[in-house]
Amino acid sequence: MSKKQAIIIGATGAAGQNIVEFTADHPWFEIGCLSASERSHGKSYRDATAKAVFFREVPKEEVMEMKVIGADHVDPRDYDVAFSALPTEIAKVQEAKFAKHIPVISTASAYRYEADTPVLLPDVNPTHIGMIEGQRANRGWNGYVVPGPNCTTIGLVSTLKPLLDKYGVDVVSMVSMQSLSGAGEKGLRADSEYRINALKNVIPLIGGEEEKVFMETNKILGDMVDGKLIDASINIHSTCTRVDVKIVHTEAIHLGLGKAASAEEVKATFEGYRSEAQEQKLPSVAEQPIIVVDEEDGPQPKKHGDYPKMVTLVGRLRENPLFNNGISYVITSDNLEKGAGGGAVLSAEYLQVKGFL
Ligand SMILES: NC(=O)c1ccc[n+]([C@@H]2O[C@H](COP(=O)([O-])OP(=O)(O)OC[C@H]3O[C@@H](n4cnc5c(N)ncnc54)[C@H](OP(=O)(O)O)[C@@H]3O)[C@@H](O)[C@H]2O)c1
């Protein structure tokens, strides 16, 4: 099988660099073009990312030496698939331009809330790809846009899905402690005002984040009925905060299940959860998507990287007497790996095995 030619737009940013890491040596995809803004046009990828600090492993030499091309200089028809990691307002225009011709897998929120667009997490809502043909027909596109969820929503829905399937979920309260890299380039660059203010600090507001968590969680956990998506209608209240942690989001979750379950039963439900993405053995999927950690003071962002890639870690799992059938736990989820690059590449892998690429 020859590899699909991929263009990565927004390749120089935090999420884009993570997509580059996941595609640089991918068995099914080859990086055909690295694209970004006019600021980066014509620079080598090494020079265009010189100030950035998001790589876990710096990609191989031939990728670092590629010339970055401004998004307005690119013809989408030269590629099989686009990965987009653009700021939302830019994504709205550029993703439509690409989707006219080729599939676009996006980390941006530009299309997430459109009625004809799935928000895909292959190990949570694979059936939602059923919306793609409708989107193509509505918009007259040969390609399509499939965004992934917001990085905070991902860890939450990944753990709600097995609970919803087994017990039902009535009400959810969540407090996030989100890492600086979740704010993108401005979160980590040493000279950024946002970063300077966040150092040794907690910022108790991330504009628009709580609304995203509510809408996306109910959309992703919704059911497809006769080709239409019916939202899950779960009561969700969240407080999203920024903390002085470089990478990996932490969330404290309290919820009421539809029927009673002990903490031990919930642990077994988390650990036993598998989806079609695991059955398909997709290259980027975690064999066991949710791991309940043994340490009584886990999970922690610092230790998240000790576990396999693309997992959601759960700890502090206990019953909660304040809620009907109440359960509480803490999760960590990598906002770049699972939240952006790895998540986008996993979606592309799933779309490929389903014949959509
Ligand atoms: N950071 C995360 O953890 C995370 C997780 C999930 C989703 N996301 C989403 O992913 C997207 C990117 O976020 P980020 O954190 O990676 O942001 P970022 O670090 O600020 O990167 C933005 C990228 O977009 C490019 N860009 C900016 N303006 C452009 C334009 N007019 N035309 C073409 N390219 C342009 C930048 O290129 P230059 O370098 O040339 O300026 C850069 O490559 C956002 O929509 C964000 O919400 C981020």
Phi first, then psi: give them for residue 301, nearest 5 degrees: -55, -40
User: What ranges do the domains of the chain cover?
Assistant: 4-150+341-353, 151-335
Per the annotation, the verdict on 240 as an active-site residue is no
Calculate how far, in angstroms, residue 14's C-alpha sits from the geometric centre of ligand 1. 7
Q: Which residues of the chain have pLDDT under 70?
A: 52-54
Out of 26, 128, 249, 304, the active site residue is 249
Does the beta carbon of 335 sit less than 6 angstroms from any atom of ligand 1?
A: yes
Out of 128, 151, 240, 304, the active site residue is 151
Calculate how far, in angstroms, residue 206's C-alpha sits from the geometric centre of ligand 1. 17
* 314: alpha, beta or left? (left if phi > 0; alpha if psi -120 to 50): beta
- Supply the DSSP string of 75-140, one letter for each residue: -GGG-SEEEE---HHHHHHHHHHHHTTSEEEESSSTTTTSTT-----TTT-GGGGGGHHHHHHHHT
Does the beta carbon of 85 sit less than 6 angstroms from any atom of ligand 1?
A: yes
Per the annotation, the verdict on 33 as an active-site residue is no
Structure-block tokens of residue 31: 């990086």
Calculate how far, in angstroms, residue 115's C-alpha sits from the geometric centre of ligand 1. 24
Give the pLDDT score at 14: 87
Give me Rg for the CA atoms of the chain: 20
CA distances to 30, 86, 293 from 221, in Å: 32, 25, 25
- Looking at the CA of residue 88, tell me the nearest atom of ligand 1: 45
Does the beta carbon of 188 sit less than 6 angstroms from any atom of ligand 1?
A: no
Residue for token pair 């996006």: 106
Report which of 115, 138, 137 is spatially closest to residue 128, judged by C-alpha positions.
Answer: 115
Give the pLDDT score at 58: 85
pTM assigned to the model: 0.96
Q: How far apart are CA 314 and CA 290, in angstroms?
A: 7
Does the beta carbon of 10 sit less than 6 angstroms from any atom of ligand 1?
A: yes
Give the pLDDT score at 54: 66
* Intrachain domains 4-150+341-353 and 151-335 with the same fold: no
Structure-block tokens of residue 107: 């980390």
Q: From atom 17 of ligand 1, which residue's Cα is the shortest distance away?
A: 184
- As assigned by CATH, the class of the 4-150+341-353 domain is alpha beta
Helix or strand holding residue 238 (H, E): strand 235-243
Is-contact 155 312, C-beta < 8 A? yes
Could you tell me the fold of the domain covering 151-335?
Dihydrodipicolinate Reductase; domain 2 (3.30.360)
- Looking at the CA of residue 109, tell me the nearest atom of ligand 1: 45
- Looking at the CA of residue 182, tell me the nearest atom of ligand 1: 3
Calculate how far, in angstroms, residue 205's C-alpha sits from the geometric centre of ligand 1. 20
Calculate how far, in angstroms, residue 281's C-alpha sits from the geometric centre of ligand 1. 30
The pLDDT tens digits for 320-354 are: 999 999 999 999 999 999 999 999 999 999 999 99
Q: How far apart are CA 96 and CA 111, in angstroms?
A: 9
